[in-house]
Structure 1
Amino acid sequence: MRERWTQTRRSAGYLLVSLVTAVATLVALPLLVWPSKARAWAHWHRRRAGRLLGVPVPARPTPPHGEPRDGWEIRTAPATRRGLLWLPTHLLTGLPFGLAALLCLGNVFTGLWAMALWWALPAEAIPTLQGEIPVDDWATALTAAPLQVVVLAALFWWGGPPLARAHARICLRVLSLSEAQQLTQRVEVLTRTRAGALDSHAAELRRIERDLHDGVQARLVATAIRLGVARDALDEAPEGVTELMREAHEGIEEAMTELRNVLRTAYPPILADRGLDGALSALAAGCGVPTRVHVEDLGKVPAAVEAVAYFVVAEALTNTAKHGRATRAEVRVRQTGTGLSLQITDDGVGGADETLGTGLAGIRRRVLALDGDVLITSPQGGPTMIEVEVPCG
């Protein structure tokens, strides 16, 4: 019973507010046809409908940080159209539904008022029931008035909540996204969150690289130096002690070599020092095949994308030097409308195959992790071309 009473009370408030907002929509229609106003007005109604039905409603979207509002307005044109469609829909539903609730509840209160206070009113202000029956004696006040109260209260008790829910469902039906639009919106959200996650990941990699380089590696170097000095000082010591010192010294040096490899694979320090252009030039200079590097003005590129580009070029040039038997290679990097584009070519013998463990599979894994594309063209006899595009959004 308490739950039913709560539903009836909430439905009454919902329908009466819907009547008021429908009248406000009619009065302020020239103002509400403005796109931003229409979206805000529609979202407010969505939230009301969602609360009544117990349906979660997403927060009102706002332009992502740094995105021009004009472009965002264009992308959210479907939401604007739904907001504009809601204006006549609300007039056609909010007015009659709200008026029905107002007439029903208003006559309930009229019956209660007439039943209790008819005797205190002047003759010209005598209330009437159903617009026809004057309440001018106790017989009418104690029969017709209670009957009106009971009938109309029961009518709203059973009909009010379904009427409010019907209006709320119409609201959500008109203003909710279609499945295709929901999917598109979800992809946009995932794209933005992925970009944020990649930036955070890249920052964390840089922190790890810095901590390892400045902390662990520095201590290992100092220990190796001390062990080397100690081994030199123990040249005259028993053979066993000298051998142990030598093994410890060599172990420290091997650990430092492995640590440097970890640092290079986690986040190449040269990227932080020289940027992508300088890092690729260093790779070309160290390649066994003469390599030309062309890097256009890239603007701001996420650190994670820079790292992937570096590893792609490094792996491709390593394959060229080891397996391609090429006499020259070329690397081109440019910014496209959607991301970073790389093209690595050589004049070698071709025949590169991802299934043979030549490192091409590793390139594909790294690129696909950022939702990028990889195209490898390597016919027998050459040339070999690797084309990569990585989103920068």
Structure 2
Amino acid sequence: MQRLRLTGYAVAQFFLAIVMIVLVVLWVVGGVLAVIWVGLGLLAGTLAATRWIANAHRSMAARTLGQPVPVPYRPLPEDGGYFDKARVVLADPMTWRDLAWLFVAPVVGIVISLLVIILLLGVVTGFIWWFVTPPLMTARAYFDRAFLAYSRTERLEHRVQVLTESRADVVDHSAAELRRLERDLHDGAQARLVALSMSLGMADAAFDDDPDRARRLVQDARSTTAAAIGDLRSVVRGIHPPVLSDRGLGGAVAAIALDMAVPVQVDVRLDGRPPAPVESAVYFGVAECLANTGKHAGAEHAWITLRHEDGVLRAVVGDDGRGGADPAHGTGMLGVMRRLAAFDGTMSVSSPAGGPTLITLEVPCALSPTPGSGSSSPRTTPSSGPA
């Protein structure tokens, strides 16, 4: 059965090789006609056909080798126009590897496929077909994989580059956070503590001569103390909210939703708790998304879902507002991306004009069981802001 399946691949690759020759011609014609704009549509169609054939060969190579051959293309922007998508395609190294493969693969495909098919059709050569088909088709699979998938070294180099960039972003973000905390402490709690010290000093000086004035200064000092405590609590919440430690990610997100001016539906299905740094990063990411919803979306309803599936913690924040959200503008969303990148996380935004807006935060992680946690069960909390 395995040899018959490989022979079927050989037949399919023979006919696909003929189609690939036609695609080579279309690439050349489209490239020539692109200078007068006529060829752009031809190139777009040829690109889609090339990727479809390449994916078919990736699938056959994966089944032949018994190893996955992933599709390595860069994702296209969902809300981008033709030229935005074209820019991503042209910047994708796999586009050019596909094109190089398209020029040489038809010859290899026709030769190997014809050899396998001819050997099968002969009575005497059938014996040879039995032995040479697996190594021939395995060699063809390795050939396709060499062009159509990144090698282990290339993947490691890309991984190092991504980690280097994310580390630099995290360092910059951490420095900015430290500066923010310093400003908050200097302009808030520190200023109030200085005022407190001055009030107590004046009260001490006036205690013997003007007890009433001293009493008023002490009362002012008490008010200043309460305000300073409030400032310090605000700073602490900016570092790690106590509600996150007490109630976990689901409860903390629900608490944010309760403070929103628009109704927010919260749906949490988590069997445990993620690591504390991941939990904090996702919490602040959701908080930033909700803050943007309240400030810019003009939405009537919003919703949040939290799931952990296939080793990935996924938070989706959506609203029915005006749409048009762009993560490239503003520092808040960029800060979320930097937070998540430190844990190999990603953020994707779908926000067409007119809405709805969907922001998906994903972080690979494992959940640790919490006391009393059993199987996953939905927990949906409707939340509405003040009337």
Q: Please confirm whether the aligned pair reaches a TM-score higher than 0.5, indicating the same fold.
A: no
Length-normalised TM-score, structure 2: 0.40
Greater relative CO (CA pairs within 8 A, separation 6+):
2
